[in-house]
Amino acid sequence: MALTPISEATPPGMTKGAAPWQSGHPVWQLGYRPFYLLAAVFAAIAIPLWLASYLGWLPGGARLGLGWHMHEMVFGFAVAVVVGFLYTAGRNWTGLPTPHGAPLMALAGLWLAGRVAMACFPGAAAALVDWLFLPLATYPLYRVLRRSGNTRNLFLVGLLALLALANGLYHAGAQGALALPPMLPVQAAIFIIVLIESVIGARVIPMFTRNGAPGSAPAASPKRALAAVACMAAAAIAWLAGAPGALTAPLAFCAAGVSLANLLAWQPQRTLRVPLLWILHLSYAWIGIGFALLGLASLGLLPASAALHALTVGSMAGLIIGMMTRTTLGHTGRPLKAGRAEAGMYWLIQLGALARLLAAAGPASLYVPALLAAGLCWSLAFAGFVLAYAPYLWRARVDGREG
């Protein structure tokens, strides 16, 4: 019997010629595929929709207000990428399957239903549909980690549970069931995601740098990484609790200093010719910048929006697009090499972060132009990802392997 060439082989779980609505289609074979694609499409359209609503250009767009914008960028966009990444990493860590096929289809459908419900049918039912995603998405990861004995990464399940709690508190505040400003749980969720970024970044950025930047010798320090996380958590708690600036500012400056010390030890200067690496280093630098700005905001020297957007647009979106491109290339069997499309996406996110910082902390006359520039950069970056990477995410691996 003739052997099937590897390029024509059908990996386990995938049905050759399956339609996208069938569980055997390549897009349903691993978590990064649907969630990266859905998150990028959503990111590309959500910001223009919010800007049009905010500036009064969208008839009947009142429901797409600031609350919707804050919630959807964190609990919609960012959470989808986090879940897709952790499902993919979880399979690598444990060797056990994370949701794929029909269960992955159901989770992606629930996430999409949450986005539609939050935009079109705000209310208790929409809140429930949206809130259910995180608990239902977290449990399979918990089960895989426990079954494999991978206790080292169980803390991530705890952080996802905290995100679900924050989302529940947001909805309780928004629905008037709890006397809590909806902004507070969103800010808490931002800090939780930044902690996830910091932990994962400290693990992988030095390794990626060592393997991908000739002549580099990054020094990873677990103690310093832990100190950075501890300082970030302390500063975040102080900020959320409304502690005096005399307490919050030193904690935030400490978090910034330790975070940037971590980065300097990873030799970012060695990565300038490698876009897949410099985007991770530069985006990680925004964590330190964000906490430094948070310290200034706690002293009343800057608007809080400047710090929060440094953390969300600069670090969160930068690391997200950097990791989405890298993991998609690697897990679809392609070389880990960025071209002009990737470099364009990376620069657009960084320019968008600077423009958003200018909108938050610059002259009032520049607020709207800077806001529009930031939104344009953001949307072009994620639209670029969709155009360049949708074919990779939609098709089977080029090497015929599973995933």
pLDDT band at 2, cuts 50/70/90?
A: very low
CB atoms within 10 A of CB 169: 19
Position 149 pLDDT exceeds 60: yes
pLDDT value for 23: 78
* CA 90-94-95 angle, 5° bins: 105
Question: 10 Å Cβ neighbour count for 122?
Answer: 18
pLDDT at 122: 79
pLDDT for the residue 401: 85
Entry pTM: 0.94
Tens digits of residue pLDDT in 99-126: 999 999 999 999 999 999 999 987 899 9
Q: Measuring CA to CA, which residue among 311, 310, 293 is closest to residue 302? A: 293
pLDDT over threshold 80, residue 370 = yes
C-alpha–C-alpha distance, residues 363 and 17, integer Å: 56
Whether pLDDT at 71 is above 90: yes
Q: Are 348 and 377 in contact (CB under 8 A)?
A: yes
Task: Judge contact between 27 and 394, C-beta under 8 A.
Answer: yes
pLDDT of residue 110: 98
Q: Does pLDDT of 78 surpass 60?
A: yes
Tell me the pLDDT tens digit for each residue of 236-293. Answer: 999 999 999 999 999 999 999 999 999 999 999 999 999 999 999 999 999 999 999 9
- Of the candidates 255, 221, 260, 262, the residue with the CA atom closest to the CA atom of residue 238: 255
What is the maximum span of the chain, computed from C-alpha positions, in angstroms? 76
Residue 31: is its pLDDT beyond 90? yes
Taking residues 346-356, report their average pLDDT: 98
CB 375 within 8 A of CB 353: no
Output the pLDDT for position 304. Answer: 96
Q: What separation, in Å, do the N-terminal and C-terminal C-alpha atoms of the chain show?
A: 27
Give the mean pLDDT of the chain.
Answer: 93
Q: Is the pLDDT of residue 4 over 60?
A: no
